[in-house]
Amino acid sequence: MRIPEAMRLVGGLIVVAIIGDIVFLTREQWLPLITTSTVEASSEEVAPPVEDPKVLKLSAQARKNLGLISRPASPQTYWRKIQVPGAIVDRPGRSDRGVTSPAVGVVLEVHAFPGETVRPGDRLFTLRLFSEYLQNTQKELFSSNKEIELIQEQLDRLRPLAESGGIPKTKIIELENQLRRQQTVIQAYRQDLLTRGLSPSDIQKVAEGEFISTIDVVAPPAIKLAESESRIQLASFQPDDDETTTFAYEVQQLNAGLGQQVQAGQLLSTLSDHSALYIEGHAFKREAPYLERAAQNAWPIEVEFAEDMEDHWPTLQQAFEIRYLSNSIDTASRTFDFFVPLSNQARAYEKNNETFVVWRFRPGQRVRLHVPVEELTDVIVLPSAGIVREGPEAYVFQQNGDLFNRLSVQILHEDRLNTVIANDGTITPGLYLAQGAAASLNRVLKAQAASGMRADVHVHADGTVHAAH
């Protein structure tokens, strides 16, 4: 090789090395420009446009698996309600009846035991009387009755003499006055013995000289109900014009045992009549204005009974309204009570010639009360399971055959059972909306969109969904 050619080759190599060094040293300035342009070009060519999925397709079997039901949307009126806990309690002066001893004595027999059913007038106890006062009253009644007989005999003997002038008529007048006084005394003794528990037949025996040493304590008569209330009819009792034949007490507790000495007025047993009870609600003071308005306007209250099997009982047909509000606050719970009347339901059955009663509602049973506070008009109401939320958005699903279109809606109010949607034109009245499984439908929609599957549908302007054509 000749020397000039070698020098040109070396010079070229030197120039290339210098350019390479310059490019390497200035790479921080030119390399980001090339990378950004390449990525942007690649993104424009590869990434597809992102679309929010709105329509999904479900087979009939899938809808059955979800238990999906659709109903047409219709504007309606809905009452916004607050939920208040409560419990069923006895109604004071109505639910429990105490039976007391009419006189001093010893319990000789017990005829009714806890759990058994007794009607008014049925025997509960037999007492052997030890009351000195009661014995004296019987003796005085017998003596007064004999005194009347003697006075009457004198009148019958002396009246003809007085008429003939044999004796003065003042004697007859004096005997007649004595007769009236004795009759008044006898009436007082009879009334006293009635209040002591003796029957009219027993009092007549005493007047004839047969003193009573034992007395039967019977169930008291039924309380007279108001016109707005009805008496529970027990199925095992034969209906009759006399309501005492269809009404019965349940023996709740025995307070005196066999052979026990009891005093006059001492409690012998407690009878229960659970046909009329109260629902006692427990509300906070801030809820008092709502409850006051509901009580004043007689707004009906919805009651949800816990541990109640509705299939085993007749339909409960009664309107629940607040009767009164308590004016005191419980210091422990900081709540005040309000009371709603409840008419109970019962069944009776016979066993060993004895009648037993089963009540549907029992004191202590928990309830949840839904008290109306505000009326919302021209709204659409769906079960809460028919709504799904994603952040600030809320969606419902409109059905058309196998296709479901997701619609964004505005929620006005929601509670544990229902959700109220604004009727702002988003939902056309008459369209069928899914009443439940909205969360499951939303997950299926996202899964179909992520897998690349298309429902191959289009949505009309009126909101209906159809397969593409």
Over residues 181-240, the pLDDT tens digits come to 888 888 888 888 888 777 788 888 888 888 888 888 889 888 765 555 555 545 444 444
Over residues 72-101, the pLDDT tens digits come to 999 999 988 889 999 999 998 888 889 998
| Residue 453, φ and ψ in degrees, nearest 5 | -75, 140
Q: What is the pLDDT averaged over residues 382-395? A: 90
Q: What is the pLDDT averaged over residues 435-454? A: 81
Question: Per the structure block, which two tokens stand in for 85?
Answer: 């806990």
Question: Per the structure block, which two tokens stand in for 459?
Answer: 């949505």
Over residues 456-469, the pLDDT tens digits come to 555 554 555 555 44
Mind spelling out the 3-state secondary structure of the chain? CCHHHHHHHHHHHHHHHHHHHHHHHCHHHHHHHHHHHHHHHHHHHHCCCCCCCCEEECCHHHHHHHCCCEEECCCEEEEEEEEEEEEEEECCCCCEEEEECCCCEEEEEECCCCCCEECCCCEEEEEEECCHHHHHHHHHHHHHHHHHHHHHHHHHHHHHHHHHCCCCHHHHHHHHHHHHHHHHHHHHHHHHHHHCCCCHHHHHHHHCCCCCCEEEEECCCCCCCCCCCCCCCCCCCCCCCCHHHCCCEEEEEECCCCCCEECCCCEEEEEECCCEEEEEEEEEHHHHHHHHHHHHCCCCCEEEECCCCHHHCCCCCCCCCCCEECCCCCCCCCEEEEEEEEECCEEEEEECCEEEEEECCCCCCEEEEEEEEEEEEEEEEEEHHHCEEECCEEEEEEEECCEEEEEECCEEEECCCEEEEECCCCCCCCCEEECCCHHHHHHHHHHHHHCCCCCCEEECCCCCEEECC
Quickly state the pLDDT bin for 455 (edges 50, 70, 90).
low
CATH topology of domain 55-79+376-467: 2.40.420
One-letter amino acid of 428? T
pTM for the full predicted model: 0.64
Give burial (CB, 10 Å; 0-12/13-18/19+) of 186: buried
- Max mean pLDDT range (243-252, 275-284, 313-322): 275-284
- In the prediction, which pLDDT does 275 show? 86
Give burial (CB, 10 Å; 0-12/13-18/19+) of 38: exposed
CATH topology of domain 84-92+273-374: Elongation Factor Tu (Ef-tu); domain 3 (2.40.30)
Domain residue limits, the chain: 3-46, 55-79+376-467, 84-92+273-374, 99-270
129 bridge partner residues: 105
- Compute the CA torsion angle 86, 90, 92, 96 (nearest 10 deg): -170
CA angle 163–165–169, rounded 5-degree value: 65
What percentage of residues in the chain have a pLDDT greater than 90? 22
What percentage of residues in the chain have a pLDDT greater than 70? 81
Q: What is the pLDDT averaged over residues 338-346? A: 91
In the predicted structure, residue 374 carries a pLDDT above the cut 60:
yes
